């Protein structure tokens, strides 16, 4: 589309919808009309692509989360129209940058949802027939503010100005039946525009609505609440991502959500298949379904139910098709994190589906008897046991393949978490190391670095083949190139500082080291360890044991689950440390601590481009993969991290000498943890105790939370020293890793002083990021799991 045509269509749309012109339209109106023009232009290709996908063997990706972020910039980039549109707007004195105020589609919590978004992007770019299914949450996760140091959650009404990148498809609405109610699932389709191709994938998100949303008789009788009861009950299902499940009602709602989108998606898939082929006998030949973690695993008994109850298949035939169709991606090695549902709850909410869960369980027991397995082993592995439906067990049993998401993660699955399954079905297990799309995470968010890469390579082929970056390693000793790279990094740091000032009201010095940790707030990700290390360094500077310290800004970005009180206490602690170092004349020019509010995809796009140090410090053996580490690496950042998740492969690709690895490894912890006594370690080290004592000596204000309750700093101390009912003391080995972490943190701080040598490390990380493109990952899935072309 040329500028003249786009300008004309934009004018027409703005005038017809808002009576506005490009000159006087609000940013929201501009966004609406730009989106409308693009959606009109892509409609034919979108419809054509959908039909091509359905005509051949294709894959469907079921995920509770799709963390898409802001669509407009990415869609324009993929269409090759970003510069064109910006030039048109600039002719009117406007700019694409004005659309920064458009809300992110925050339909995810972290890496799980962002991975799903990257996979759809890569599949579309490489003409692979992959489409997504999920939930169209009205409020997404939540908007986070920090008030008096505490996280506060507010509804994230991302649709308040409309949703112009989706189209409602009423003709494809289906009904989802629970034990006590029937609701309508209405699909909204979002185009996934392939970069440099006519292919457009589809993300179908289901919105829950009442079959009859208003009971006129009840209203007429003055029972006003009853008249809209069905409407409210149905709409609650797709109201919020991950409702708090610390109580029974929350658990019921979560299970209803999982079944809602699973049932609706399968109904849709079967309907389209029958329309094209007239039979379901060849379903497994034409359709493969990837279950992204255990949230959609209820799809397994649901498909059995539909094939048998609705389409008249016998059990054996339905089971064979179901087992061939499904594949399962595992995202955790921690047994306690593997999803389980109370049998009583499942039977209450979806009684007919529960009957198929029991039938699957009996089929499993029969199979194990045929393999002469021990009854204790059968009881341990069965999909139903101890009054619970074990979703991971059902997923591995009734699927073709199970994959981990990083090499070390997959090996731990095979050796520990899913060891029994691997011994019985070794051919089902594969590794698919996660990846990220370089379109959003470099080409879009770092135009300056992208331009340098393209200039040095002589083309922009890297945008679809990230392995091209390896050709730039020859510039690692070219001081002119490195100085240009340093200048770009400095520009991004200044941009981030300006954004933090505008967004959070905090001034940060772009001439300091930017040490950044951004990820979901969880104990195993060890933001707590990072906070303790800053205290350690603070007191080291105060007593003179740490000298010549390069001024550093420590930036955190994270959201805690609303009911996760210990995680919220960690956020409060970080804020207290920030006040301490800021108020001390000895450190206020050396250490700055900032916890940015409402961390999301758009904020991440700014943070990853400006970082000098990427904090990836989970306890070894707990992080499945991580993808934030890859985003930092791609933008030329060194990793300060443990030998965990994809960090292992990052070091393999970029070199140990160009990153900073610390702490106990998986094999070390296997020996250490059975005898580990954190008190013994802490009491023997006065510097560690000096830090830990600050949690209990009244130095910091934890908001008056009772000392024995989760959410207090004293309880944080207790969790390290004494443990809790559900975990051993210092379960994630913070005290044990603290000295190694601080030593390594100070080493990178010293190395930063040698500007060129440090820039070389950063440059080589960027050049080595080719493996971590989601293009590579998705092609691996396509070839070795889905068998699609």
Per annotation, catalytic residue among 70, 94, 428, 525: 525
Distances (CA, A) of 339 to 6, 155, 257, 266, 335: 49, 26, 14, 21, 9
Distances (CA, A) of 598 to 8, 141, 381, 534, 724: 37, 10, 41, 22, 30
Tell me if residue 761 is catalytic.
no
Residues 399, 304: contact at Cβ < 8 Å?
Answer: no
Residues 626, 646: contact at Cβ < 8 Å?
Answer: yes
Tell me if residue 273 is catalytic.
no
Distances (CA, A) of 592 to 204, 506, 580, 589: 44, 10, 10, 8
Alpha-carbon distance of 120 to 774, in angstroms, equals 9
* Closest-CA residue to 514 (of 601, 437, 583, 596): 596
Alpha-carbon distance of 292 to 299, in angstroms, equals 11
Give me the residues paired with residue 144 across strands: 153
How far is residue 80 CA from its own chain's centroid?
27
Per annotation, catalytic residue among 70, 136, 520, 694: 520
Give the per-residue SS3 of 202-249. EEEEEEEEECCCCCHHHHHCCCHHHHCHHHHHHHHCCCCCCCCCCCHH
User: Residue 385: is it exposed, middle or buried by C-beta count within 10 angstroms (0-12/13-18/19+)?
Assistant: middle
Tell me if residue 627 is catalytic.
yes
Per annotation, catalytic residue among 552, 609, 627, 777: 627
SS3 544: coil
Alpha-carbon distance of 243 to 255, in angstroms, equals 10
Per annotation, catalytic residue among 305, 409, 519, 714: 519
Residues 549, 701: contact at Cβ < 8 Å?
Answer: no
Tell me if residue 493 is catalytic.
no
Per annotation, catalytic residue among 440, 631, 718, 745: 631
Tell me if residue 520 is catalytic.
yes
Task: For residue 379, give the DSSP letter.
Answer: H
Residues 592, 553: contact at Cβ < 8 Å?
Answer: yes
Per annotation, catalytic residue among 143, 331, 492, 606: 331
Phi and psi dihedrals of 328, rounded to 5? -130, 125
Please list the active-site residues: 331, 519-520, 525, 627, 631
């Amino acid at each position: 589309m040329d500028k003249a045509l786009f300008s004309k269509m934009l004018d027409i749309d703005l005038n017809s919808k808002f009576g506005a012109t490009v000159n006087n339209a609000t940013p929201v109106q501009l966004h609406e009309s730009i989106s409308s023009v693009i959606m009109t232009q892509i409609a034919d290709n979108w419809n054509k692509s959908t039909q091509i996908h359905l005509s051949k063997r294709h894959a469907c990706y079921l995920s509770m989360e799709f963390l898409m972020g802001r669509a407009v910039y990415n869609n324009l980039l993929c269409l090759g129209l970003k510069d064109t549109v910006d030039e048109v707007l600039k002719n009117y004195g406007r700019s694409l940058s004005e659309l920064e105020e458009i809300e992110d589609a925050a339909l995810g919590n972290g890496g799980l949802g962002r991975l799903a978004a990257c996979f759809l992007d890569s599949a579309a770019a490489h003409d692979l027939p992959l489409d997504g299914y999920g939930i169209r949450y009205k409020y997404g996760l939540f908007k986070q503010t920090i008030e008096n140091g505490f996280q506060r959650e507010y509804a994230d009404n991302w649709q308040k100005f409309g949703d112009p990148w989706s189209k409602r498809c009423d003709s494809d609405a289906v009904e989802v039946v629970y034990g006590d109610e029937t609701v309508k699932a209405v699909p909204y389709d979002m185009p996934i525009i392939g970069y440099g191709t006519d292919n457009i994938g589809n993300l179908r998100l289901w919105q829950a609505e009442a079959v009859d949303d208003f009971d006129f008789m009840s209203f007429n009788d003055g029972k006003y609440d009853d008249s809209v009861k069905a409407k409210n009950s149905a709409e609650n299902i797709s109201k919020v991502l991950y409702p708090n499940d610390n109580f029974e009602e929350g658990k019921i709602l979560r299970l209803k959500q999982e079944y809602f989108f699973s049932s609706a998606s399968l109904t849709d898939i079967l309907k389209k298949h029958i329309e094209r082929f007239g039979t379901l006998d060849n379903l497994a030949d034409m359709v493969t379904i990837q279950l992204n973690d255990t949230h959609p695993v209820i799809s397994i008994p649901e498909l059995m139910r539909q094939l048998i109850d609705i389409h008249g298949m016998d059990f054996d035939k339905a089971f064979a098709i179901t087992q061939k169709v499904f594949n399962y991606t595992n995202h955790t090695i921690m047994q306690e994190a593997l999803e389980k549902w109370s049998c009583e709850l499942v039977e209450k909410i979806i009684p007919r589906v529960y009957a198929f869960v029991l039938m699957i369980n009996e089929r499993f027991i029969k199979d194990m008897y045929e393999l002469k397995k021990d009854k204790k082993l059968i009881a341990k592995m069965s999909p139903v046991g101890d009054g619970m439906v074990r979703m991971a067990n059902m997923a591995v049993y009734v699927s073709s393949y199970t994959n981990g998401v990083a090499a070390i993660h997959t090996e731990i699955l095979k050796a520990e978490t899913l060891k029994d399954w691997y011994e019985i079905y070794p051919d089902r297990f594969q590794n698919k190391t996660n990846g990220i799309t370089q379109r959003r995470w470099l080409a879009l968010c770092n135009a300056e670095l992208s331009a340098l890469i393209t200039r040095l390579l002589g083309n922009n082929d890297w945008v679809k083949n990230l392995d091209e970056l390896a050709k730039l390693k020859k510039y690692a000793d070219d001081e002119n190139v490195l100085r240009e790279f340093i200048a770009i990094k400095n520009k991004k740091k200044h941009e981030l500082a300006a954004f933090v000032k505008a967004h959070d009201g905090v001034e940060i010095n772009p001439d300091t080291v930017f040490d950044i940790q951004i990820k979901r707030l969880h104990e195993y990700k060890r933001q707590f360890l990072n906070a303790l290390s800053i205290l350690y360094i603070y007191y080291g500077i105060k007593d003179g044991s740490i000298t010549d310290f390069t001024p550093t800004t420590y930036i955190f970005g994270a959201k805690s689950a609303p009911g996760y009180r210990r995680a919220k206490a960690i956020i409060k602690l970080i804020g207290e440390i920030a006040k301490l170092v800021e108020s001390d004349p000895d450190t206020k020019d050396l250490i700055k601590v900032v916890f940015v509010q409402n961390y999301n995809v758009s904020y991440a796009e700014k943070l990853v481009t400006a970082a000098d140090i990427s904090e990836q410090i989970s306890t070894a053996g707990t992080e499945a993969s991580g993808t934030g580490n890859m985003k930092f690496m791609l933008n030329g950042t060194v990793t300060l991290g443990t030998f965990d998740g994809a960090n292992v492969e990052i070091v393999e690709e970029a070199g140990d000498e160009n990153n900073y690895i610390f702490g106990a490894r998986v094999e070390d912890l296997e020996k250490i943890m059975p005898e580990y006594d954190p008190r013994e370690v802490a009491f023997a080290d006065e510097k560690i105790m000096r830090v830990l004592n600050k949690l209990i000596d009244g130095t910091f204000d934890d908001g008056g939370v009772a000392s024995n309750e989760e959410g207090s700093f004293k309880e944080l101390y207790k969790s390290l020293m004494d443990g809790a009912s559900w975990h051993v003391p210092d379960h994630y080995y913070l005290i044990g890793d603290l000295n190694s972490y601080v030593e390594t943190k100070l080493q990178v701080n010293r190395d930063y002083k040698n500007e060129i040598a440090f820039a070389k490390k950063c440059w080589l990380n960027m050049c080595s990021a080719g493996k971590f493109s989601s293009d590579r990952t998705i092609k691996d899935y396509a070839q070795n799991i889905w068998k699609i072309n």
